[in-house]
Amino acid sequence: MFIKLLVFYIAYSYLVHLWAKQKVNLIQQPNTKQHSLFYEQWKPYFNKTQENIGFYPGTYTFLQRNWINHEEARIFCIEKFTIQWFLFRLEGRGKVTFAPNNTVTLYEKYRQFGLIPLHIFWYGLLKDNTIEWKETEFVSPFKVIKNPKVAQELSQYSWSIENFNKDYVVFKKNIDNKQQKLLYGNNFLLKPRMKQRLLKTF
């Protein structure tokens, strides 16, 4: 009986994986309904520019980014409680903290095999509205790794601040020929359902 249930669960997870890949493909196409539904709420924040950028110390929660890839596909699968939920999942949403001394910390928490907490930290310095990431850290119950390879590769690009106020901050990753932006903000920017989920997590 257990073997049958396991086979069914693996088959279910695979079918959801195919569905999630298709969903990402549709969202990536600008003229689709799926693209509009996924981005419409957030476009005003990404498109707005600010001349005199302020500085507001505090912690901001990840809300959205203006591109989508396999990471969102995995999240779609996890929301359907596929095997990815058990193997490796992001727990809650990432957070970025600005300290009064202009240091910046990016934090994300993951869960492996449903139980083991994993923590990722990026440490940076804010200067002239740009964050230069100086070092990264991986922390698990068993070990601490300074500057793990994957995190170092991702953090090699600085983040420019395009818009910053007490309610939200918009970053742009400084990668040649790309316009990758991320939005972090306060809970009031979230849809009620998303806000509810955040409050349960944190």
Tens of pLDDT, residue by residue over 83-130, are 999 999 999 899 999 999 999 999 999 999 989 999 999 999 999 999
Residue 195 pLDDT > 90 = no
Instruction: Give the whole-angstrom CA distance, residue 76 versus residue 202.
Output: 20
For residue 183, give the nearest of 199, 198, 172 by alpha carbon: 172
> Which long-range contacts does 84-89 make (Cβ < 8 Å, 24+ apart)?
84/13, 84/17, 85/114, 86/113, 86/114, 87/112, 87/113, 88/112
Residue 153, token pair as written in the block: 């590769």
In the chain, what are the domain boundaries? Answer: 2-201
Instruction: Give the whole-angstrom CA distance, residue 84 versus residue 42.
Output: 27
CA 2 to chain centre: 35
What is 2-201's CATH number, 2.40.128, 2.60.40, 2.10.260, 2.60.120? 2.40.128
CB 134 within 8 A of CB 150: no
Start-end of H helices in 40-172: 43-47, 70-79, 83-87, 149-154
Instruction: Give the whole-angstrom CA distance, residue 17 versus residue 9.
Output: 12
Helix (H) or strand (E) holding 28: none
Residue keyed to tokens 């300074």: 146
Q: Which residues of 120-136 are buried (b: 16+ CB within 10 A; e: fewer)?
A: bebebebeeeebebeeb
Whole-structure pTM value: 0.85
pLDDT at 33: 92
pLDDT tens for residues 20-63? Answer: 999 999 999 989 999 998 888 888 899 887 777 888 999 999 99
Who contacts 193 (Cβ-Cβ below 8 Å, separation ≥6)?
none
CA 43 to chain centre: 17
Mean of per-residue pLDDT scores for the chain = 88
Instruction: Give the whole-angstrom CA distance, residue 25 versus residue 194.
Output: 23
pLDDT at 177: 82
